[in-house]
A and B are shown apart, each in its own frame.
Chain A
Amino acid sequence: MFGQEIADENTELNNNMINEKELEDNLTKLIDRSDIINATLFNEDGFVIANSDSNPNDDLGCDFFQDLAAISSGIISMASSLVTMTDPSSIAIKVNLQGGNEVEQDSFAMMFTSFSDEIHMVVVYPTNANVGLMNFEINQIKSEIKHYL
């Protein structure tokens, strides 16, 4: 009986790991098909679900993206409050911010989108990126990974 419970738990863990790997593959596909530098999927509480750049040997460690997810979660939450305060019939669908000016070489922008009430995504892209293509690819990914979430 007890052994069966452990086996079930292991199967669930394995399934979760497979899902996480597939989510990461989907995010990697997203950055390959567009100008996006990095994509991070996180939950309402600011915990990372999947990241396109999950190589632990990378210069930017896991903590870096965990911190980014936590800050992003705060931004989304405040943006929703602001929108509700200014117009109760509206909801925030997209939040953008830009670091540096357009003329600077390494300036970048971040886009925060919601997949559901609890799942959000932050993407980092250069300011000269093709935003139309990026939006299209993000919408594609949304429909592709819907069943994992």
Chain B
Amino acid sequence: MINPKEQYVNKTLDLVLMKLTRFMNKFISNIHGFSACLLTEDGLIIAEGINSGSKKNLSSEELAAITASMISIAEQAVLHYKSSKTLSQFTIETSNLENPKEGGLNIFAFQIHPNVLLAYNYPSSIPKGLVSFELSTVIKNMQEIIFENESTIMRNIGSMI
């Protein structure tokens, strides 16, 4: 039997994750991207958003796992160059070989909390200005939610996998 305290924590966690997923879905549909996920530095997914109108639905699990390991090498590069700095963002720009006109996809990772990254991918045809604008509006809301519920998210992250 679940005790009332545990029930309350689970409810809070569900609510927090729902809020985060809603922001992610809105963000990814506004930038016409493929998928986005909030992940920990270990590569565990906290929340994910998928653009239902998109033709390509890329797996968030794969994106999260490899992004996390790549971010850790990128962090080493930053620390090696200047030990007082930390990695704040990471981008990969691609080009489509089969259909150059269509363009490739850009993969982007942004640190929104010391232990939380936002990774997303979008077609390279989308203007970077639009992405930056949408990012700046959504990031504030997500940061607020994460900082307010930091302990709830981090304590329960292991049980979500």
A residues sitting closer than 8 Å to B (CB atoms) are 64, 67-68, 71-72, 74-75, 78-79, 81-83, 85-87, 89-101, 104, 106-108, 110, 124
Contacts and interface: CB of A to CB of B under 8 A. Distances in A.
Contact of B90 (A89, A96, A108): A96
Interface of B: 56, 58, 62-63, 66-67, 69-70, 73-74, 76-78, 80-82, 85-99, 104-105, 107, 121
Contact of A78 (B58, B66, B87): B66
Given A71-B73, A82-B63, A85-B66, 7 more contacts: A83-B94, A86-B105, A90-B94, A97-B74, A97-B87, A110-B77, A110-B78
29 contacts: A71-B76, A74-B73, A75-B73, A78-B73, A79-B92, A82-B107, A83-B94, A85-B62, A85-B66, A87-B94, A87-B104, A89-B98, A90-B95, A90-B104, A91-B104, A93-B93, A93-B94, A94-B92, A96-B90, A96-B93, A98-B89, A98-B90, A99-B86, A99-B87, A101-B88, A104-B85, A107-B88, A108-B81, A124-B81
A86 B58 contact: yes
Contacts of A81: 66
A72 B92 contact: no
Contacts of A75: 70, 73-74, 77
